[in-house]
Structure 1
Amino acid sequence: MTDDLPWRAVSGDAPALLISDHASSRVPDGIDLGVPAEIMGEHVAIDIGVDPLGRALCARLGMAGIFGNVSRLVIDLNREADAAGLIPETSDGHPIPGNAGLDAEARGRRLAHFWLPYHAHVENSISASKPKLLVSLHSFTPSLRTGGAPRPWQVGVLYNRDERAARIAIPLLEAAGIVTGDNEPYSGKVLNATMNRHGEGNGIPYLGLEVRQDLIGDQAGVAVWCDRLAPIIQATLDVFC
């Protein structure tokens, strides 16, 4: 069944592909994280708002979309396979008891069941559709539970070595009155695994968008930010077509 896969997909004919790694808080059968249910609705388990916003953007622009269908507390689809935080034992001050002390065999099963098929599906989708632009969609918290400065940006644009789409989109976001972080609230030179692999690895320009989660936490907010972001994505895509 589709819901058992580590991704969910929507189809589209536009020459862009939206990828949202952290769109689900699903914990598959057979995995016990030992985390209270209320925590699974917080940012440590899911990027709040990105599933409805991503689907709205795909519908508005005719884009195909790939949405991660497993919580990042199970395995983080936006990490390299050998990254220390791939299967986190803590996240923003929350312990994840079910991930503590996993042996190599258990880690290998999670890679084989979730991470590897997810990225294989992304690779196959790119090979089949040959998109001109990838759109990476995430959300971020107004501040971290464990402290740190407040995050005033409404949208952040992340990138690593390939800045092509970012340099087009950032001035458009600013001109639209959107408080925009240039590689903020964290740097794409550190947290950019999926776009490093599938964008930079294939020479495809990508637009890494991070939306502050309090802005897209309900249907009204999703509608507002679909209206604000859709024309900027389209204008960025038009440059590469």
Structure 2
Amino acid sequence: MTAYTTIAATTDVPLFIFGDHASCHIPREYNNLGLSGDDLTRHIAWDIGTETIIRQLCAHFGCGGQLANISRLVIDYNRDPDAAGLIPEMSDGTIIPSNQKLTAAERQNRIERFHVPYHEALSKAVRRDDNPLVISLHSFTPQPITGEVRPTDIGLLVRHDVPTAEAFRDTVQRNSPQLNVGMNLPYSAYDLNYTVDRHIAPLRLRHLAIELRQDHISCEASAHAMGDMLAKRLTALI
């Protein structure tokens, strides 16, 4: 199992889209990390709906993309290798049995097997076009087991490129006023922004870090509807 999937560009549209948490796949040798049932497919394992939308947008624009092939419960690509949450021992109240008290050797093995190749590939991919718009796509649960209801429909994690985020927010709110677009909600780019901080910000590329609430994209039909809306709103920004 490779760490990521590359979506090849078929046009010269200056756009690149990636999903750090697009997969809930756990390689067989990890024995589901000791989990079973819904814990293997609910939001703690992946960003539900994001693979569908990324593939849809890449096909629509003919742009390149990159998808994680590994569940964030195995290793979280959007965390610094030294971060405590890189390999979570608990997620939204659920204990991850096989991640408890990992040896330094096993931690390093997962970093070298998955985290390093994913980020090496992403670093090269965002440099292929001249000044592309880069989109990091995530999704979030409407209500964590350990948290409150989240009224935001679309969140934008904003730190390095405020103008692009504001332009996207304004066009969504103007054309889809029923959607509540929040800046640095339900998460803040000042707290959870490792991949963008590492690869996108140093190049001063225009970018969006988009969070979609999962009840809007939890099935193929609703995900495609959201993808259609995003394609329309993004066209003016590319």
TM-score, scaled relative to structure 2: 0.94
**What are the residue-to-residue correspondences of 1:84-95 with 2, within 5 Å?**
84-95=84-95
Pair 1:147 & 2:144 matched: no
Q: CA deviation at 1:201?
A: 1.9
Determine the C-alpha separation between the residues in 1 that align with 2:144 and 2:165.
25
2:6 match: 9
Pairwise CA RMSD of aligned residues?
1.2
Determine the C-alpha separation between the residues in 2 that align with 1:128 and 1:48.
28
Determine the C-alpha separation between the residues in 1 that align with 2:185 and 2:98.
31
Q: CA deviation at 1:131?
A: 4.7
Determine the C-alpha separation between the residues in 1 that align with 2:159 and 2:86.
19
Determine the C-alpha separation between the residues in 2 that align with 1:188 and 1:220.
29
Q: Rate the CA distance shift 1:173–1:152 in 2: closer, same or farther, 3 A.
A: same
1:234 match: 235
Q: Rate the CA distance shift 1:17–1:131 in 2: closer, same or farther, 3 A.
A: farther
Contact (CA 8 Å) 1:161, 1:189: kept in 2 or not? no
Contact (CA 8 Å) 2:133, 2:205: kept in 1 or not? yes
Q: Letter of the aligned partner of 2:97 in structure 1?
A: P
Q: CA deviation at 1:43?
A: 0.3
Q: Letter of the aligned partner of 1:198 in structure 2?
A: H
Contact (CA 8 Å) 1:160, 1:196: kept in 2 or not? no
Query: Any gaps of 5 or more consecutive residues in structure 1?
Result: none
Contact (CA 8 Å) 2:25, 2:69: kept in 1 or not? yes
Q: Letter of the aligned partner of 1:233 in structure 2?
A: L
**What are the residue-to-residue correspondences of 1:44-123 with 2, within 5 Å?**
44-123=44-123
Deviation string 1:116-171 (CA, Å, 9 cap, x unpaired) is 000000011123334511111000111111132x1112111112233232121111
Pair 1:179 & 2:176 matched: no
Determine the C-alpha separation between the residues in 1 that align with 2:156 and 2:34.
34
Percent identity of equivalent pairs: 37
Contact (CA 8 Å) 2:24, 2:40: kept in 1 or not? yes
- 3-state SS, counterpart of residue 5 of structure 2: strand
Query: Any gaps of 5 or more consecutive residues in structure 2?
Result: none
Q: Letter of the aligned partner of 1:46 in structure 2?
A: W
Q: CA deviation at 1:38?
A: 2.1
Q: Letter of the aligned partner of 2:99 in structure 1?
A: N
Determine the C-alpha separation between the residues in 1 that align with 2:2 and 2:36.
24
Determine the C-alpha separation between the residues in 1 that align with 2:92 and 2:4.
25
Q: Letter of the aligned partner of 2:78 in structure 1?
A: N
Pair 1:161 & 2:152 matched: no
Q: CA deviation at 1:188?
A: 1.1
Q: CA deviation at 1:115?
A: 0.3
1:210 match: 211
- 3-state SS, counterpart of residue 17 of structure 1: strand
Determine the C-alpha separation between the residues in 1 that align with 2:198 and 2:68.
16
Deviation string 1:175-228 (CA, Å, 9 cap, x unpaired) is 121210111111111111111111102211211111111111112101211121
Contact (CA 8 Å) 1:17, 1:131: kept in 2 or not? no
1:21 match: 20
Determine the C-alpha separation between the residues in 2 that align with 1:18 and 1:24.
15
Deviation string 1:74-132 (CA, Å, 9 cap, x unpaired) is 00001111111000000000000100100111100000000000000001112333451
The number of residue pairs the alignment matches comes to 233
2:200 match: 199
